[in-house]
Structure formats: C-alpha cells, structure tokens
C-alpha cells in the first residue's frame, strides 16, 4: 500500500479535534455540576439512607431554587404512592402546586398526581374535587374514569351516569357498567314508588346496553328483563310480567333459576299454577340447574304434596347427581316427618292431596327417618360450602346472586350457578 503524504496532516488534526471536544464536555459537566444546588445531593444522600422525610425537605428546597427539577419530584411522588407512602406523595405534589412559577402543563400534571394520591388514600371528596378541576385539560379522560369509580363507590348513580356521558362525549369508549348504573337508578325509583322514573331509567339502560355491548352480553339483558317484570307486577300487568320472564327463559336459559320463583308466582296469581310448573319442569329437563331444581321442588311440595316433590327429586338426582339436591330432599323428608309428629292432622291433609291428585304416589318416606337425619347431618356441613355463588374475579363467595361483587366491586363476575355446579364443569 502506498504512503499518502496528506496523512501526516490528517491524523494529528483528528487527534486535536478529539482533544478539543473532550475539553468542552468536561467544562460543560463542571458547569452543570456547579449549577446544581447542594441540597439536591443532600436529598439524594438522605434518600439512599432511607431518611425519607429529610430527603423530601431537601428536594423541596431544590424545587424552590431550581425550576428544572420538577420531573424529579414527579418521579419521587409516584414512587411514594406506589410504595403506599401516601402522605409523602401528597406532600410532594402539594408543594409543587404551591409554586407560582410552575408552567400550566406541569401544574395540571401535579394536580392529576395529587388527585390520584387522594384517591389512593380513600379521601374521596378531595379526589373528586381535584379530578373535577381536570375536566378541561389533557387529563380529562383519565379524570372522568376516576370520577366514575368514585361515584360508583359512593353509589351516586346520577353523577356516575353524567361522568359516563361526559367521557363518551370525549372519546368513543364503551362503559359496560353504565347499564347497571341505570338499573340501580331504576331500583332506587322503584323503592321510592316512582314508576315513571323507573321506566325512564330502564329505557336508558336498554339503550346503554346496545351501545356498550351491541347485544352480546347476557347479564345486562337479564337484569333489565327482571326489573321490567318486577315493574309490571307492581303495576298489576301480569301478562307483561310473564312475557319479560319468558324472554329470560328462552333467550338466556342459564339464568332460569333467578326468575323461577317470580315465574311460578305469576302463574299462581293468574290461576295457571300447573301450567307454570310444567313449563319449568320441561325447561329443567333441557337446562338443569340447582336453583331451578330447588324452585320446582318447593313448588311441588306446596301445590301437589310431598310425594310428587319426592318423585321429581328422585328422577332429577338420577339424571344429574348433586349433593345440594340430595340435601334439599333430605331436608324435606325430615321436615315432613317432624311436622307429622307435631301435628297429626297434616298427614290427613297430605292424604287428601294425594286422593285429589291421581298422579300422586303414596307419600311414603324414601329412607327411614333416623337414616335421613343422619345422612343430612353428614352432608349438610359440606353442602353449605357448595351452596354459594362465587366471584370469578376475586373469589368472594355469597349466599345470593349479585350483579356487582361485594368484595372487589367488579360487575357481572358472578355466574348464575352454585359452586357445586361450577366445580363439576
């Protein structure tokens, strides 16, 4: 390779330029070091030594002296909030807001952080006031989502609905729980005897259901139908009540157990009790569930006597074995025998029911009385654990069905099945 004379000039020149650049960087670093207040380094030292209170004091002093350190405070406040040190987080963000020279965008950010601190601390009134101030800012969507949660926690359904509407006015975002907000509003109206307001709230719930889920979710439709049925009953419209309940049976058969008692009561009020029982028995044959089993069993005991109820239960348990079903059956036998011992006249009444009902068999116990008591005592403690609904989000167990979990406050997390059924699937 030939030697080029110009290299003798280029190589020293490149070394010289590198030396000059290094000197400039060093001077800049020294200048920046001198511009940082000593309290900044004191604060870092306190923080490393876990002296949090003294670190905050030092960083607050830095913020007063140097406006360029606000990002440090935002990071520090978020760190404290994540660690659960809410008082320290509030103190950091409050001191930022007290600065008169804080730019508007950082002031909004500080207010947003402070609102989250209040929410995390459970200071809902202060959090609500802070989020309200953010409605016209870049944090408006997040603030409205937080306000929805706050109003939901306070069970302030009108304000929760207003927050949902404001959020949907800003962004095209479905809020599925809005359906239940309207249903809760309808329930409050029914409790107050205001049927007109209940109708309006349920109409709004139907509209919200279509908007949020495009007709895909079962739970909102079931709840609306059940509330419309209850409203029709209060207004004396038994036909409308029956139609709403039948819509649940046909469209969402898994929820039949929730409407079975209302359905039977409707048919009893209309004088068609046998027709109602036959429809539910046919439904149970296609879609068995423990709640539906219990409703049919109790209705058969009440209307046709214990023998018919036992016949139904035996067949049902043979097709769908269930400890809860067996517990119900044993409970009925024990209760019937105790009643016969206390009031012998009831046995005569049961015999009259059997004679008047040609389909009824003799009301003979299917297992000896002592054995029935022993068997029920053995399984009842176990079935008590299975006779619960369970939240699919947090596992909270409840004796009755909830649209909103009492444990985690999530909506539509309860399946319309008891634990025994869920464990079997």
183 is in an annotated binding site: no
Q: Give which of 246, 248, 242, 251 is closest to 224, Cα–Cα.
A: 248
State the CB neighbour count (10 A cutoff) for residue 423: 10
Strand partners, 404: 411
391 is in an annotated binding site: yes
- Contact (Cβ atoms closer than 8 angstroms) between residue 269 and residue 238: yes
Q: Counting Cβ atoms within 10 Å, is residue 162 exposed (0-12), middle (13-18) or buried (19+)?
A: middle
Tokens 């119900």 identify what position?
328
Measure the CA–CA gap between 170 and 10, rounded to whole angstroms: 62
- Contact (Cβ atoms closer than 8 angstroms) between residue 198 and residue 186: yes
Q: Counting Cβ atoms within 10 Å, is residue 194 exposed (0-12), middle (13-18) or buried (19+)?
A: middle
Helix or strand or coil: residue 118? helix
* Inter-CA distances, 148 with 151, 159, 170, 375, 397, Å: 5, 8, 14, 51, 26
Q: Which contacts (CB < 8 Å, 24+ apart) does range 127-134 have? A: 134/108
Measure the CA–CA gap between 425 and 423, rounded to whole angstroms: 6
State the CB neighbour count (10 A cutoff) for residue 8: 10
The secondary structure of 276-306 as a DSSP string is: HHHHHHHHHHHS--HHHHHHHHHHHHHHH-H
Q: Counting Cβ atoms within 10 Å, is residue 288 exposed (0-12), middle (13-18) or buried (19+)?
A: middle
394 is in an annotated binding site: yes
- Contact (Cβ atoms closer than 8 angstroms) between residue 70 and residue 106: yes
- Contact (Cβ atoms closer than 8 angstroms) between residue 241 and residue 232: yes
> Quick one: which H or E segment has residue 398?
strand 397-398
Q: What's the CA dihedral at 336, 342, 344, 350 to 10 degrees?
A: -20
| Residues in binding site for Fe cation | 391, 394, 405, 408
| Residues in binding site | 391, 394, 405, 408
């Amino acid at each position: 390779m030939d030697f080029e004379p110009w290299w003798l000039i280029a190589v020293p020149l490149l070394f010289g330029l590198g030396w000059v650049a290094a000197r400039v960087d060093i001077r800049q670093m020294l200048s920046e070091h001198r511009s940082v207040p000593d309290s900044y380094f004191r604060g870092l030292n306190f923080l490393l030594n876990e002296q949090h209170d003294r670190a905050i004091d030092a960083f607050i002093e830095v913020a007063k002296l140097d406006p360029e350190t606000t990002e440090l405070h935002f990071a520090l406040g978020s760190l404290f909030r994540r660690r659960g040190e809410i008082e320290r987080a509030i103190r950091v963000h409050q001191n930022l807001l007290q600065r008169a020279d804080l730019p508007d965008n950082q002031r909004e950010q500080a207010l947003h952080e402070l609102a989250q601190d209040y929410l995390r601390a459970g200071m809902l009134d202060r959090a609500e006031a802070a989020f309200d101030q953010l409605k016209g800012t870049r944090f408006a969507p997040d603030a409205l989502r937080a306000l929805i949660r706050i109003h939901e926690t306070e069970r302030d359904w009108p304000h929760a609905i207003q927050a949902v509407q404001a959020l949907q006015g800003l962004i095209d975002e479905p809020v599925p729980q809005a359906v239940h907000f309207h249903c809760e509003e309808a329930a409050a109206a029914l409790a107050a005897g205001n049927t007109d307001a209940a109708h309006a709230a349920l109409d709004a719930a139907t509209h919200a259901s279509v908007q949020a889920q495009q007709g895909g979710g079962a739970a909102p439709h079931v709840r609306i139908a059940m509330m419309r049925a209850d409203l029709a009953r209060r207004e004396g419209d038994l036909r409308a009540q029956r139609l709403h309940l039948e819509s649940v049976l046909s469209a969402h058969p898994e929820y039949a157990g929730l409407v079975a008692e209302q359905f039977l009561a409707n048919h009893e009020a209309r004088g068609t009790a046998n027709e109602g029982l036959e429809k539910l028995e046919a439904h149970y044959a296609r879609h068995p569930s423990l709640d539906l089993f219990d409703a049919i069993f109790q209705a058969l005991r009440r209307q046709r006597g214990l023998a018919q109820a036992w016949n139904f239960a035996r067949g049902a348990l043979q097709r769908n074995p269930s400890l809860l079903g067996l517990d119900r059956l044993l409970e009925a036998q024990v209760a019937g025998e105790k009643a016969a011992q206390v009031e012998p006249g009831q046995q005569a009444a049961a015999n009259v029911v059997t004679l008047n009902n040609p389909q009824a068999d003799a009301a003979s116990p299917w297992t000896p009385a002592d054995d029935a008591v022993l068997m029920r005592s053995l399984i009842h403690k176990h079935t008590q654990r299975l006779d619960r609904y369970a939240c699919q989000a947090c596992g909270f167990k409840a004796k009755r069905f909830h649209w909103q979990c009492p444990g985690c406050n999530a909506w539509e997390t309860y399946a319309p099945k008891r634990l025994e059924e869920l464990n079997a699937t």
